[in-house]
Each structure stands twice: as structure tokens, then as C-alpha cells.
Amino acid sequence: MKPDIIAAEFILITIAVILLLFVSFIFFLAVRKARAKQKVFDTSQKEKLTQLNQLLEPSGFQYDPKQDIFYSRRDCWQRQFGYCSLYDDAATGLSMVLDREPIYFEYNGKRWLLELWKGQYGMTTGCEIGLYNTDQPNVDIPDVFQGPFYESAEDDQQILMEFELKDSFGRTLFWRRELHWWLTGFSLGTFYQPEDLYMNVRLTFPCRAMATAFLSGLISRGYQPGEFLFRRTTVYLTFATPKAKPQAYRNTVLAPLMQNNNRFYCEEYHSLTDDFTHTLDKLTYLKQLSPRLYQTIFRFLHSEELYAGFQKIKEQGESYE
């Protein structure tokens, strides 16, 4: 047989194999999509909600189907780890590109911190209000960390928190109101730059003395009297452009790189689940179709290993005293 005939046959066989593989892949994908869709149809909305919240329980979060958001529970495990500024410094590298506004004040023999956050948390857009305090000296570990390590507010120290998260067009994304120490909300598949979001915040303190102490911290942060409202024990303010210095890496090339990544995953999420409109249906479908992306969705939940690492820093700092 002539070499050119052999070469032609080889090319034809190669093309046939490639086409067979391609057709097999398309068939496999079609079957997988069909099974994933059937799973959505065979599972009731109540079952989907129960399964999702069971999945979220170890992370300390829950899903609210009415507003289509994820939020932190008061008894979440994050409470035991408190807060230090290293958490914010690590955020950008964990795909959380945020604006923050820490407000420091002193009350009842303790140093307090009430912090606001808004921005992109991986594949979710969200915001937070956190309340912390300490009566301990600063942690001082040379070349690692110097500063206070706060404990999360106890049950009898919680305040009534409320926020409404809106975009630059004035559209409300969601709102929450609860007696809490860490009030949060996260909208899956939504993408924004932090500067395109603002929070209308309402904080009701247990007494006028604490509210006044907080106001002193608010003014020290740079807020002018016309930028907030004070009535009895309640403070109203809008968090738009931060007055605090950005956290580490926030204004570096890392932030836009992470945002590009976040935007890509949000678009992929909507592309893959385009046949469904409700988040419970989308997640049930995605779990069957793309487990990798399904796991990526929940990276916005704070890592217990990360918190434990910071706890070791705190303990190490205490050993220096």
C-alpha cells in the first residue's frame, strides 16, 4: 500500500475517533444535564431549603428564601474567634474585595470596635456589621502583628442592628434587622465593585451613654454632624466612601485580579443555571452538574482554619507579656 494512502487512512481514522469522542462527550453532557434537571423536579422546595441549610449549618450560615440571601447566625462558630485587623488584611487574597469602616470607642472600661464592611465576597455581593470589645492590652508580636485582639460581643452586649444595602442606582439589594453581634447578608451570583454599593445603617444601643461613646468614635473617624443622625439611643448613618485607610492589598493589582475572577465565576454560575430562576433550584442543579463550581460558591464563608491561625497569633502574643 502506498504511503500516501496509508497517511490518508490514518487521518480519516483520527478524525473519526475525534468525532466519536466529541459526540460521546455531548451525549454524556446531555445525559448529565437531564439527570440534574430531573433532580430539581423530583425535590420539593421545602426539601431543597432543608438540605441547603443542613449543608450551611457547620459554616454558621443560613439561607433566607424570602430575600434570596445567605446570612450569619448569632451562634455561628466565628463568634469564638473575635476580630483583629489581620482578618481584613487577608480578605483580598481570599477573593473578598471590600470597603471597610472600623469605628473605635471606649465604654464601660472596655475598648470597643464596631466595623462596617461592603463589597464582593467571592461569588456573592454582601455587607456586614460587627461588634467587638476587649479589656486586654494589645497583642505585640514583632514583625507579625501589633494591636488589639477583640472578643465578639456577648449576648448581653448585643445591639439592635439594621442595614439596607443599595447600589449606586438606588436599587435595594436586601436589608436585615436583628439584635446581633455580627449582622450579615450575601447575595449569590451578584457582582459589584465595592464603590458601587452603599449601606444605610441604623444602630440602637442599650443606653445613651454607649450611644454617645460610639458617636465620639464616629466623629474621630471623620464623620461630620451632617453625615449622621442621633436620636435618643439610636444612630443613623450611610456608609458609602470609607473614611478609614484601606486594608493591605486593597489598592494593589491583586484586587482587580480577584474581581475579574469573581466576575467570571458569577457569569459561569448564571450561564450554567440559566434554565432556572430560583436559587434553590439553581444550587440543586449545579450540585449535580458541576460540583467544582458548587464548592466554589461557598468559599465566601469564612475559613475556620484561617480563624484558628489568627487565634494562634493571639495566644503567641499573650505569651510575650
What average pLDDT does range 244-248 have in this prediction? 83
Q: What percent of the chain has pLDDT over 70?
A: 81
pLDDT of residue 68: 96
Whether 53 has a pLDDT exceeding 70, the answer reads yes
- β pairing state of 151-152 and 69-72: unpaired
Residue with C-alpha cell 449545579? 286
Model pLDDT for residues 56-94, shown as the tens digit of each residue: 998 899 999 999 999 999 999 999 999 999 889 888 988
Model pLDDT for residues 195-238, shown as the tens digit of each residue: 999 999 999 999 999 999 999 999 999 999 889 999 999 999 99
pLDDT of residue 20: 55
Whether 2 has a pLDDT exceeding 70, the answer reads no
pLDDT of residue 313: 56
Of the pLDDT bands very low, low, confident and very high (cuts 50, 70, 90), residue 268 is: very high
pLDDT of residue 11: 66
Cβ burial, residue 62 (10 Å; 0-12/13-18/19+): middle
Model pLDDT for residues 12-43, shown as the tens digit of each residue: 666 666 665 555 545 455 556 666 676 777 78
Range with the largest mean pLDDT of 33-47, 108-122, 288-302: 108-122
pLDDT of residue 17: 60
Model pLDDT for residues 136-169, shown as the tens digit of each residue: 999 888 877 889 999 999 999 999 999 999 999 9
Q: How far is Cα 267 from Cα 244, in angstroms, rounded to an integer?
A: 32
Q: How far is CA 271 from CA 179, 198, 222, in A?
A: 38, 28, 43
Whether 189 has a pLDDT exceeding 50, the answer reads yes
pTM (2 decimals)?
0.86
Of the pLDDT bands very low, low, confident and very high (cuts 50, 70, 90), residue 258 is: very high
Q: How many CB atoms lie within 10 A of CB 36?
A: 19
Rounded to the nearest integer, the mean pLDDT of the chain is 87
Of the pLDDT bands very low, low, confident and very high (cuts 50, 70, 90), residue 303 is: low
User: How many residues in total does the chain contain?
Assistant: 321
Q: Is pLDDT larger for residue 263 or for residue 23?
A: 263
pLDDT of residue 27: 47
